[in-house]
Each structure stands twice: as C-alpha cells, then as structure tokens.
C-alpha cells in the first residue's frame, strides 16, 4: 500500500504543477500574431457625391446628406407595389438562399471557437483475453496490463485463462493558442459571416430594386400600348371618313389604300409591345417567388406611380457604410488580414497539454477499487523545422491576398461613386426629356387636330394627315418612355445609394434560437425566410 500511496502522491503533485502552469499558458494564449484589421478610411473628399447637386426644373429637389427611407419604394405612393415587394421578400428563394448562407458561415465560426476549449473523450473498453501456457497474452492491452501488474493488491492480478479486462478512461487534451492561430481563425470566420450578411443585404437590395424597376417597366409598356391603341383608333376613324368620302366622290381610291396601309403599320406595332408586357409580368411573378401560371394580381400604370419631390444625396462617409457591396468588400479585407496571422502562427511552435485518468481491472467487482487507478499527464511541443518553405509561401500568399482584397475594395468604392454620379446625371437628363416630350406631344396633338379638321374641309390631302398622325404617335410614345425612364432612374438612385439598409436590420441573424433554425423552418420551406430580419410591413 505504501508503493501505491507514493505513486498517488506523485500523480497529485504532477496535477498541481499542471494546474499551476495552466494560467500562465492561458495568458500567453491571449496574444495574436499578425496585423490587426483597421477599417478603411472614407474617401478623401468632403463634398457630396456630385460636385454640384443639379436643379431640375419641374423635377425633384436634391437634398445632400438626407437620410434614405428604409422602405424607399414607398416614395412612388403605390399600394400595389408595396404589397408586391412584401410578398417578394417573404417568398423569394434568392433571399432564402442568402439567409441560409449566413447561417452556414455563422455556425462554421462557432465551430472554430470550439478550439478555445479542451477536448474530453471517454473510452470504455471491455475485452475477453486468453493466456497461453501462462507465458503470453493474446489480446491484452500491454501498457494497461503493466500498470495493473505494478499494483501490490494481489486479488486483482490476472485470473486463470480465460479472463476479462475492463478499462474506463477519460482523456482531456488542450492545444494552447499561444500565437493566436485559433483566435485569428475565428476572426477570419466571423469576417466571412459578416461578408455573407452583406451579401444578404445586396440580395435584398437587388430584389426590391428589380421589383420596382420591373413594375415601372410594365407601367411604361402599358403606356406605350395605350398610345399605339389611340393611334390605331384614330387611323380607323380616318379610314372610315375616307371611305365615306370615296363613296361620295370626294376622295380618291389611292387615299383610301394609303390610309389602310397606315392602319396596318400601326397594328404591327402592337404585338411586340404586348409580348414585352407578358414577359414583364412573368418577371414580376418570378420575383415574387411564384410559378408562371400563378400570376400576380397587381397591375401598374404610369398614372398610379408618383415621382418624388425630394431625393437624397449621401455624403461620401455615409455612402461607404450604406452600400452592401462596399461593406462586403471591407469584410473581405478583414478576412484576408486575419489569415496573415493564421499563416504566421502556423510557422511557430505548437504546445499541446493532455491528461488522462481512469480505472482498469480484471473483474467488474474490482473496478474503482484501490490499486486500479490510471493517471497520465503530458505536454507536447511540435515545431516544423523544414517543409520546403511551404509555410513561408503560404504566409506570403496571405499577405498578397490582403493587397488584392484592398484593391478590390477601392475599386468597389470607385464604382459606387460612379453609380451615384450616373444616376444623378440620368435624372438631370430625364427632367429635360420629360419636359420636352410633354411639350412635343401637346404640340403634335394640336397639329393633328388642325390637319384633320382641314381634311374634312378638303384643304389638305391624306398625306398631310398621315404625317401628323405619325408625328403624334411618335411624340406620345416618347413622352411615355421619358416618364418611365425618370421613374426607373429614380429607383436607380436609391439602389446606388444602398437602399436605406442599416446594420441593425440584421441583428436577429443568426440564429433564431440557441439551437439554430427551428424544426418548423426546416420542414416548412414555404415559411417566410426573413422572420425577424426584414422590416415589418403595415
């Protein structure tokens, strides 16, 4: 028993040393090699995204520094559009995919955090062993048997063959994060999660922008179809008048045939526009997350879409925080920066502490009795001496990746400023185009009325009427196109400014609960994917 007691004392002494050194190693684990990420500075300009906010005669007024509405599409004051966007956000599979990607990145980051804690493994082994000629053991764990044989307790020795060996053992291992390799790995994983969050923002912005643009395009097509149908009605009316004049002897047959040809040309304009309208309806149905046969109920006309009186212009410092593509590019720089620390730490020594303890006996009744305990404590240091410069080149590659990500970030910012500038210039041109098109349509209509009245009096020929009708048709379509372009470019400005999306909109993701997605979310795929994510609609 004295030998056993001496062994136990040494074991307890080793454990005390282990527990004494553990805080020191833990303190070292707080370090992290490699550069720390710093958010890029705003663009070096204090001016607005436009050198001078254009003043649009008869158009909206630009307000530098104004906040972008969270539901920016409501500036068009169309309830049908609001309902369609709400339905699209709830059912669009692209958003569901983007949200699932966030959860994948989030749980990967959480899995990486598990390396901060020790690993504990329980092992239970029961075996039946045969001893041949009392000299050899066929299937016994030699190391455990040797430890058991050192016990002075005589009643736990190997019984007559065959006999059993029972082992209950717990192994605990912990790799010290002295150089912060795991810390940097977690940092990189969390940056990747942020990147997926901003990808969701981009998907949300793209979806709402596509729905608004498609609805405006539908309204513009309906306006063009209405203009062509008005022209067809006038052509038919004129054809009827000429036929009556021909029957009365006041018009030539050539005039009638010319008018019939003009009517046929007007009719040819209708099918392509109707085809485009049908395709636009199919697009809106798909954006709403529906199959083509289940078409949406909402229809859109230019008269039901209002043009806003004021439009925001974001300052550079705000623009870089509002655009999801800029934020995603910044998160990419963050991830690449953290990977440098991972690569540097991989070249430094690695320390792993491990301990195991348990009981081993030949009979179940002897298990957990004095003399059956097993204790082992160890510390391992590993360091790569030579690997053909593989780790060094991986570090160099990580450093080059930061340069690449930084260049991509700066390129994204430049493109974002270009998008805003293009949208402002487009709106400036649209205001002039709408004004000119409206004047041209009114003038063409007045000219057509005069020419048609003169035709009834015989003062002009049919060719003059046809020219006036064609001019009016072209002017009407041009006015509709100009109004549609102004509305589309208005939506384009909101999209270029980031659509009013804020970081706090993502605070509930992920997960919805401590265990991630609920069972109902997994089994019921038709459930809205944005629970607790998207803005609540009234």
Whether residue 274 has a cis bond before it, omega within 30° of 0: no
Q: What pLDDT was estimated at residue 123? A: 81
φ and ψ at 480, to 5 degrees?
-65, -45
Cα separation, 486 vs 10, whole angstroms: 85
Cβ within 8 Å of residue 314, ≥6 positions away: 49, 65, 68, 322, 420, 497, 498
- 340 three-class SS: helix
Cα separation, 86 vs 43, whole angstroms: 35
Q: What is the CATH number of domain 2-523?
A: 1.20.1600.10
Cα separation, 438 vs 444, whole angstroms: 10
Q: What pLDDT was estimated at residue 164? A: 59
DSSP 330: H
Q: What pLDDT was estimated at residue 122? A: 85
Phi-psi region at 532: left, alpha or beta (left = phi > 0; alpha = psi -120 to 50): left
The per-residue pLDDT for range 211-225, each reduced to its tens digit, is: 999 999 999 999 999
Cα separation, 167 vs 12, whole angstroms: 21
Q: What pLDDT was estimated at residue 361? A: 67
Rg (CA), the chain: 39
Q: What pLDDT was estimated at residue 46? A: 63
Q: What pLDDT was estimated at residue 286? A: 94
Report domain extents, the chain.
2-523
Angle at 24 between CA 23 and CA 30, to 5 degrees: 90
**Reduced DSSP (H G I as helix, E B as strand, rest coil) percent helix, strand, coil of the chain, to 5:** 60, 10, 30
Kindly give the parts of the chain with pLDDT less than 50: 1-22, 25, 134-156, 507-538
The per-residue pLDDT for range 45-75, each reduced to its tens digit, is: 766 555 555 555 566 788 888 888 889 999 9
Cα separation, 464 vs 457, whole angstroms: 13
DSSP string, 189-215: HHHHHHHHHHHHHHHHHHHHHHHHHHH
Q: What pLDDT was estimated at residue 31? A: 77
Cα separation, 195 vs 338, whole angstroms: 14
Q: What pLDDT was estimated at residue 57? A: 59
Tally of residues, the chain: 538
pTM confidence score: 0.77
């Amino acid at each position: 028993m004295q030998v056993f007691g001496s062994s136990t004392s040494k074991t307890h002494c080793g454990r005390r040393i282990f527990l004494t050194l553990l805080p020191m190693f833990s303190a070292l684990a707080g370090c992290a090699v490699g550069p720390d990420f710093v958010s890029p500075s705003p663009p070096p300009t204090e001016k607005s995204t436009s050198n001078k906010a254009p003043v649009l005669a008869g158009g909206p007024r630009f307000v530098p520094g104004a906040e972008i509405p969270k539901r920016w599409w409501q500036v068009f004051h169309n309830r049908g559009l609001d309902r369609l966007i709400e339905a699209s956000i709830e059912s669009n599979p692209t958003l569901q995919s983007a949200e699932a990607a966030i959860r994948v990145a989030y749980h990967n980051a959480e899995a990486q955090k598990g390396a901060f804690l020790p690993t504990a493994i329980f092992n239970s082994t029961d075996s039946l062993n045969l001893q041949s000629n009392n000299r050899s053991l066929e299937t016994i764990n030699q190391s455990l048997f040797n430890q058991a044989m050192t016990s002075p307790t005589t009643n736990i020795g190997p019984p007559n063959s065959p006999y059993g060996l029972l082992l209950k053992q717990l192994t605990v291992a912990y790799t010290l994060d002295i150089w912060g390799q795991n810390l940097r790995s977690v940092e990189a994983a969390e940056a990747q999660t942020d990147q997926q969050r901003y990808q969701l923002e981009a998907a949300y912005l793209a979806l709402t922008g596509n729905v608004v643009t498609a609805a405006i395009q539908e309204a513009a097509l309906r306006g063009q179809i209405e203009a062509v149908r008005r022209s067809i009605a006038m052509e038919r009316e004129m054809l009827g008048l000429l036929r009556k004049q021909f029957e009365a002897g006041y018009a030539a047959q050539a005039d009638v045939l010319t008018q019939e040809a003009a009517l046929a040309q007007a009719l040819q304009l209708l099918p392509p526009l109707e085809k485009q309208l049908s395709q636009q309806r199919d697009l809106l149905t798909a954006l709403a997350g529906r199959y083509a046969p289940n078409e949406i109920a909402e229809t859109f006309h230019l008269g039901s879409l209002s043009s806003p009186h004021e439009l925001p212009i974001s300052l550079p410092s705000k623009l870089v925080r509002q655009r999801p593509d800029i934020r995603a590019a910044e998160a990419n720089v963050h991830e690449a920066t953290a990977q440098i620390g991972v690569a540097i730490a991989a070249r430094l020594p690695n320390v792993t502490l491990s301990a195991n303890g348990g009981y081993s006996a030949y009979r179940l009744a002897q298990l957990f009795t004095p003399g059956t305990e097993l204790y082992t404590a160890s510390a391992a240091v590993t360091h790569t001496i030579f690997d053909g410069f593989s780790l060094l080149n991986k570090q160099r590659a990580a450093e080059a990746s930061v340069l690449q990500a930084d260049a991509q970030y700066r390129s994204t910012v430049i493109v974002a400023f270009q998008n805003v500038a293009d949208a402002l210039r487009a709106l400036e041109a649209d205001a002039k185009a709408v004004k000119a098109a409206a004047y041209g349509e009114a003038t063409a209509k007045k000219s057509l009325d005069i020419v048609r009245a003169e035709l009834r009096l015989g003062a002009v020929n049919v060719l003059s009427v046809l020219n006036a009708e064609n001019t009016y048709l072209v002017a009407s379509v041009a006015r509709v196109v100009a109004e549609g372009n102004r509305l589309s470019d208005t939506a384009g400005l909101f999209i270029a400014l980031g659509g009013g999306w804020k970081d706090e909109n993502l605070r509930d993701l992920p997960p919805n609960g401590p265990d991630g997605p609920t069972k109902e979310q997994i089994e019921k795929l038709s459930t809205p994917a944005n629970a607790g994510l998207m803005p609540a609609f009234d």
